[in-house]
Amino acid sequence: MNLPFFISKRLSSGRKASFAGMIIKLCIASCALSIAVMIVALALITGFKKEITEKMFDFWGHVVVSDTEINQSYLPVAVDTGKMNLNQIRQLSSADLDQFLRDGYWARHSRSGEGDLIRSAQRFILFPGILQIGQEYEGIQIKGIDVDFNPVFYDKYLIEGEPLEVDPSSFGRGLMISEQTADRLQVSVGDQMVVYFVLDGNQITRRLEVSSIYRTGLEEYDQKVAFTDINLLRQVLKWDKESSSGVEFFLNDIAKMEPFATLILQEIIPLDYHAMTLRSRFPAIFEWLELQDYNKYVIIGLMLIVCVFNLMTTALILVLERTNMIGVMKTLGMPDRQLRMIFVFFSFRILVISALIGNAVGLALCYIQKEFGIIRLNEADYYLSQAPIYFDWPSFIAVNLILMVIIFLVLLLPSSLVQRISPVQAIRLK
C-alpha cells in the first residue's frame, strides 16, 4: 500500500469543520470556477472560428481557379474547364498530394486513389449588375451558378423560397438575393425586377424574378452578392457552355488547402490560370480569426495561475495545520519525501474534485448555450446571431491533463516546508 496516499485519503475523509476546512471549500470553488471558464472559453473561441470559417468556405469554396487577368478588370474573363483539366483535378487523391509534398512532383499516370481529395467542384461566373425595382436601384455582384452548385448552401442559409433551378439546355430567370438586399429594396419572393448589365459600352437588360432569399450573416458579402443561373450570364456575355469565370473547389480536409492549390498550379492547370486559396484571397478575415487564439491562451493562462495560487495557498495552510502530525511522523522515522507526498496527494485530491465540478459546470453551460442560444450577438459585428459552441473534446482533455501535470509539479514547492519543521519544536507546540 502507498502510505502517503493512504494517509492523505484518511486526512481528507476525516476533515472536520475548521478554518482549514473553510479554506479548502473556497479553494475547490475557485478552482472549479477557473476550470469551468477554461472549458467555456475553449468551446466559444473554437466554435466562433469554426462557424466563421465554414461560412466563408460555403460562400466561396476552399480553392478558386480563374484566369490571371480576372483581377485587372471588373469584367469576367472566360476560363475553359476543358483546358483547365477539370476532370483530372477531380481524380486527385490524398496519396497523390502526399507524393507531391514528399517528392516534389506528381505521377500523372499513377492513380493511387479514387479522387478522395475533393468533395465537390462548382463553376461560376461573377458579373456586376444593377438591380431596379420601381424607382429603387442597387449595385450588386451577380454570381451565376451551375447545376453542380453546393447544395449545402441551400440547407444552411436559404430562409425563404426554393433553390434556384438551373436548366443546362436553356437559362432560368430566377434570382436569389440576400435578406439585406430584399429589405433595402422592399421585395419578397415572387417579385420581379430589372437587372442591367454593361458590356462593351452597351447596356443589356434582363427581367428576373426573386425565387429565394438567403442569409449567411456575412454582412459585407450578403449585401453585395446575388445568385442566378450561370447560363443567363453566359447568354449575356455570349460565352459557350464550357466557359465560366472560374471553378470553386471544396476539399474534404481544410488542412490540405494550400498544398492542393500548389499542386494544381504547378502540375495541372495552364500557366495563364491561377489557383488561389480563400485564405490568401481574404487574408484580413483569417488573420483576425487567428488572433482569437491569443484570447484563448490568455484566458487559459490566467485561470491556470488562479488555480496554482489557490492550491499552493491551501497546501501551505494544510502543512501548518498539521505541524504536530508532521513532528510525530518524523519522530517515528517517516522520511521527508513521504511526508511531502502526503500533502501533495491531499492537494491533488482537491484539484481532482475541482476539475470534476468545473468540467461538469462548464460542459453544462456549453450545452445550454448550444441548445437554447441564450447569449445573442449582433450579427452585423460578429457574423453570428448567437455565441457559437463547439465541443472540441481533444482540446478539453489536453487542457485538463496539462493542468493536472503543471499543478502536481508546482505543489512540490509548498510541500517542501515539511523539511524545515523540527520534530522537537512541532511536538512542543501541541
**Could you tell me if 197 and 127 are in contact, meaning their C-beta atoms sit under 8 angstroms apart?**
yes
Distance in angstroms (rounded) separating the CA atoms of residues 133 and 210: 11
Q: Distance (Å, rounded) from C-alpha 164 to C-alpha 172?
A: 8
**pLDDT value at position 342?**
75
**Phi, psi (5° rounding) for residue 138?**
-145, 120
Q: What is the DSSP string of 266-301?
A: HHTS-TTEEEEEHHHHSHHHHHHHHHHHHHHHHHHH
pLDDT at 208: 94
**pLDDT at 109 (0 to 100):** 54
Q: Extract the C-alpha cell encoding 294.
A: 491569443
Q: What is the pLDDT of residues 17-38, one digit of tens each?
A: 556 677 788 888 999 999 999 9
Round to whole Å and give the CA distance between 318 and 338: 15
For 183, list phi and psi in degrees, rounded to 5: -70, -40
Alpha-carbon span 389 to 377, nearest angstrom = 13
- Give the model's pLDDT for residue 135: 84
Q: Residues of the chain whose pLDDT is less than 70?
A: 1-20, 70-74, 107-114, 322-333, 336, 414-430
**What pLDDT score does 101 carry?**
85
As a whole number of angstroms, the distance between CA 255 and CA 237 comes to 36
pLDDT for 281: 86
Task: Quote the cell numbers at residue 403.
Answer: 493542468
Please tell me the distance from the alpha carbon of residue 279 to that of residue 375, in angstroms, as a whole number: 29
What is the CA 309 to chain-centroid distance, rounded? Answer: 32
The phi and psi torsions of 92 (rounded to 5 degrees) equal -65, 140
- Note the pLDDT of residue 336: 67
Residue 45: what pLDDT? 93
Structure confidence at residue 33 (pLDDT): 93
Give the model's pLDDT for residue 141: 93
pLDDT value at position 19?
Answer: 64
Q: For the chain, which residues make up each domain, given as ranges?
A: 3-54+285-428, 69-271
Between CA 132 and CA 134 the distance in angstroms is: 6
pLDDT at residue 220 in the model: 82
